[in-house]
Structure 1
Amino acid sequence: MREEWFLSLEKMIDSDFAPNWNAWIGDRITQEDYRFVKEFESSVYSKKEVPSSVPPPWLILKIQKLKFTSSYFYERLNGISLPEEFHKIPLMTREDLQNKITEILPTDVDFSRLVVNPTSGTTGKPILAPNHPKAIGCYVPLIEYSLSRHGVELKKGHDHTAAIQLCHQNQTIVYATSHSLAEGSLFAKINLKEKEWKEKDHLQKFISHFQPQFLSGDPYAFETAMKMNLKYSPSALHSTALELEDNLRIALSDFFKCPVVNFYSLNETGPIAYSCPVHPDWMHIISEDLFIEVLDKEGFPAKEGEILISGGRNPYLPLLRYATGDWGEIQYGSCRCGDSFPKLKLLKGRKPVYFEDTKGERINPIDVSRILRKEPNILRHQFIQKKDGSYELNLSVYVPAQTEFIQKLESEFKSLLGSDADIRIKTDLPSDSGKIPVFLNETKEEKN
């Protein structure tokens, strides 16, 4: 944090139009981390090795080394001859990341740099994903690369705002920071909810004053900003976290008068792919340190099926055939856009499902998950808005639920949905990982 960076950041924090900040965030990048990210950035732009359907030598070497530092890898690779029997390695699952994380962690890494960032839990029980500042830092060149592929080159420096992230949640962290990996460029995360601003027009004035080069967020936040008639034309919208429907992408591009870059990224894997500038339905794999497989329902390699990830740059969470739960189609070969890396098309990803409170206002499913993740007795959840306007919360619990537990949840949900909300809580949801919809809005006939 250089002095001139801090002075610029201070102006953003102390702005008359600033939201109600509630967190302090820094990138925690050391000089060694900085060198690591810059070397990684060079590999992203040079793209020396085009991924194929065959596990690359670097991956085989990496997992062979991990066999002796991770008990999880040792157990999974026992009796497996590499690389010939790579396909026989059992899949790493979300449940493994939830329940076996201490077995997965390699023993030869420095844990003093470990950062834990829980997922929002919109697809079930949250994962307490361990991460490293240098791996998180790699988001910066990957985002910049995806923007450059759409013709957007960012200006860097403390006198520029790189991006403002939009959220629309009942409660979330709101902060401003300076990115050392972007030469001190400013960044802010804000909440579109009116209660987060001192005056009703401050949201518009804050964005107009600091002129972010691009806006980031999920499709839900962008759609909300459009409906609020936010008057600002960035160089791009950078969308992640949820599936971006074609009709919404076109509407957003028309409204904000800029390209919409779709980004496929998971908290536990980091960025995976970005939308092709020529074929927006497809997304190119973004870096050569990931090996992607697609398996059909029987577990055999296929053109279309579940997406598996191996490799990655997070020293605390090496991935070994991690089953993402997302379904897609993979295509190898050259592309008219000029990117030679394989393309993915999500077929059954994380479609947004929205709810309404008793006053008809939209509710983000993340707000539902945030209430539930505070309760350690909950293993799995399913939330349904019924056609009659009532709500149904189905839970799988570790120990039998007491009356106080149910009453506390009812109070939390009435605070979110309205004091007159009719919510029925059941605790008979199966505890296994069967494929059931996590969120369902029967009034809109949406399924996820």
Structure 2
Amino acid sequence: MTMQTSPWADYQRLPGLDDEGSQRLKTLIDQPHAPRFANRSGHHLEPVEVSALEAYTREEAGRTISAKAIDNDWVDEFIENCFKRVPFFRQYNQDCGSLAELPTVSRADMSRDITQFVPEHLPLDRLIAFETSGTTGHPLLVPSHPVVAARYSCYHKKALGWNGVSSEALQSELAVLLAGYQEKCFTYASISPYLNNKGLVKLNFHPNGWNHPDDRQKYVDGNKPDLISGDPISLIELSRLPFNHRPRAVLTTSMTLLAGCRRVLQQRFECPIIDLYSLNETGPIGCSVPGKNRFRLLQSRLLVEILDAQGAPVEPGERGEITVTGGFNDYLPLLRYRTGDYGRLELDVDGWFITELEGRPPTQFKTAAGKWLNNVDITHLLQRFPLSQFSLHQHEDGRLVLKIPPTPEADEISRALADKLGFPVALDEIEHASSDRKMTQYTSDLSRLS
């Protein structure tokens, strides 16, 4: 039986780890108020790959982003490589004259056999597979690689910069705190070579993961993370802890961030609250920016289309399904991949934006007066309430059931929905909100679009 290496001497997961980084990691793990770290994780990047990532980040920062196919001169070569190297795309008619003539791909296509979407020429010895359940009923293994995983940082830095936060100005020994809130959660401490070898921790703020509940706020105050990231549920739970530290920025992803929830986080953390639109299949697609209630496109080599139900592109400003081509994951090249999310594309002086973003197909709700409302109208109604998670269902007789976490505003929310729709609203309390419980926000037995 061999003795397990200490996390701060784990050179297999952390190639290039020096004495300073090792001591930094030891301090994050071996302190009185530290959580019970259940797992280990590392960047697995060789020094040459770290240098390549730095060059990639510089190049991406200088590129323009356009949602017009004509502005993306890389697309033709990308399609040609997909036809040549990706088994699934060999079945296509390769005489198609343009991107718009190609078929679309869905999550269901990928879930049947994801290996058909991995380019055949790539080495598989360092392949990573991320499991994602989603809300579509099609579990998916997303192929990746340490270099691909590290590229997320490029787009996070871009989002920070657009929100007035320079990643070069981060000063804490703990650069990033990834916050979770689940009964069981993958937790670890690591070092990030693309953030000046500063610390990165994934923490579960559910009391189960700590020796004492008060250790949670003491650990945050003791280590003062520059950046905090998590989904709205985790961040709302974190905001309730009585620590004094204020991060440089908070990044939220994975779930819809309502305006009321954003307001609570803004008041609590007193820093930019950056909402990321990101998928496991694509990485970060867009981010919120000051003064605009929409997502600015982040990736220069991810072409975003908006398609109608038949797969045809709609005009800018029209609503449809968000569909993407390209991406930075060499192990999962996307060719007209329908995300299952809906929104509009708009262009202004600052760039291209996705507006009125909604996950899953549109759902309509019938009012007592016989009118139909889109789920976007319901989202607008709920924006002012600090809900980290919710779902609304309409039965055949018009009755509504709203599931929300405990909140003193529950009756007010119920009345607002009843006034809007004219039907009674039953409240079903989510006793324990959790990041690992995915929830479809809108369903209806009456919807004309379901």
- CA RMSD in angstroms, aligned pairs only: 2.7
Find the residue that maps to 1:272 and give its secondary structure: strand
* 1:300 aligned partner, one-letter code: A
* Correspondence 1:319 to 2:331: no
Distance 1:155 1:211, change over 3 A: farther
The percent identity for this pair of structures is 26
* 1:250 aligned partner, one-letter code: R
CA distance in 1, matches of 2:269, 2:405: 26
CA distance in 1, matches of 2:74, 2:338: 20
CA-CA distance at 1:68 after TM superposition: 1.6
CA distance in 1, matches of 2:205, 2:290: 29
CA distance in 1, matches of 2:59, 2:137: 35
CA-CA distance at 1:241 after TM superposition: 0.7
Distance 1:48 1:329, change over 3 A: closer
* 1:289 aligned partner, one-letter code: R
Which of 276, 289, 305 matches 2:301? Answer: 289
CA-CA distance at 1:348 after TM superposition: 1.6
* Correspondence 1:309 to 2:324: yes
Structure 2 gap ranges (5+) = 1-16, 361-378, 380-388, 391-402, 407-427
CA distance in 2, matches of 1:159, 1:246: 29
CA-CA distance at 1:158 after TM superposition: 9.3
CA distance in 2, matches of 1:356, 1:212: 28
Which of 157, 169, 181 matches 1:144? Answer: 157
Q: Contact (CA 8 Å) 1:156, 1:182: kept in 2 or not?
A: no
Which of 195, 200, 203 matches 2:213? Answer: 200
Task: Report the equivalent of 2:185.
Answer: 172
* 2:77 aligned partner, one-letter code: L
Task: Report the equivalent of 1:44.
Answer: 60
Which of 126, 140, 150 matches 2:139? Answer: 126
1:105-116 counterparts in 2 under 5 A? 105-116=118-129
1:362-381 counterparts in 2 under 5 A? 362-364=432-434, 366-367=436-437
CA-CA distance at 1:235 after TM superposition: 1.3
* Correspondence 1:22 to 2:38: yes
Task: Report the equivalent of 2:355.
Answer: 345
* Correspondence 1:9 to 2:25: yes
TM-score if structure 1 supplies the norm length?
Answer: 0.76
* 1:31 aligned partner, one-letter code: P
Distance 1:161 1:6, change over 3 A: same
CA distance in 2, matches of 1:120, 1:222: 21
Task: Report the equivalent of 1:421.
Answer: none
Q: How many correspondences in the alignment? A: 367
CA distance in 2, matches of 1:48, 1:143: 17
Give a deviation string over 1:83-131, Cα, whole Å, max 9, x none. Answer: x332121111101221131111111011112101111434433211000
Which of 56, 72, 88 matches 1:72? Answer: 88
* 2:304 aligned partner, one-letter code: I
CA-CA distance at 1:346 after TM superposition: 3.9
Distance 1:117 1:190, change over 3 A: same
CA distance in 2, matches of 1:204, 1:155: 26
Distance 1:230 1:91, change over 3 A: farther
Distance 1:356 1:219, change over 3 A: closer
* 1:271 aligned partner, one-letter code: P
CA distance in 1, matches of 2:241, 2:32: 21
CA-CA distance at 1:441 after TM superposition: 12
Task: Report the equivalent of 1:329.
Answer: 344
Give a deviation string over 1:158-216, Cα, whole Å, max 9, x none. Answer: 96211111111121101111011112110111111111110121000100011001210
CA distance in 1, matches of 2:65, 2:355: 21
Which of 355, 361, 364 matches 2:431? Answer: 361
Task: Report the equivalent of 2:276.
Answer: 263
Q: Contact (CA 8 Å) 1:169, 1:193: kept in 2 or not?
A: yes
Task: Report the equivalent of 2:105.
Answer: 92
Distance 1:277 1:360, change over 3 A: closer
Give a deviation string over 1:13-70, Cα, whole Å, max 9, x none. Answer: 1111111101100011123322332222112221246442447221210120221211
Q: Contact (CA 8 Å) 1:4, 1:158: kept in 2 or not?
A: no
CA distance in 2, matches of 1:196, 1:315: 35
Distance 1:266 1:255, change over 3 A: same
CA distance in 2, matches of 1:25, 1:157: 22
Q: Contact (CA 8 Å) 2:179, 2:235: kept in 1 or not?
A: yes
* Correspondence 1:31 to 2:47: yes
Q: Contact (CA 8 Å) 1:310, 1:321: kept in 2 or not?
A: yes
CA distance in 1, matches of 2:146, 2:229: 20
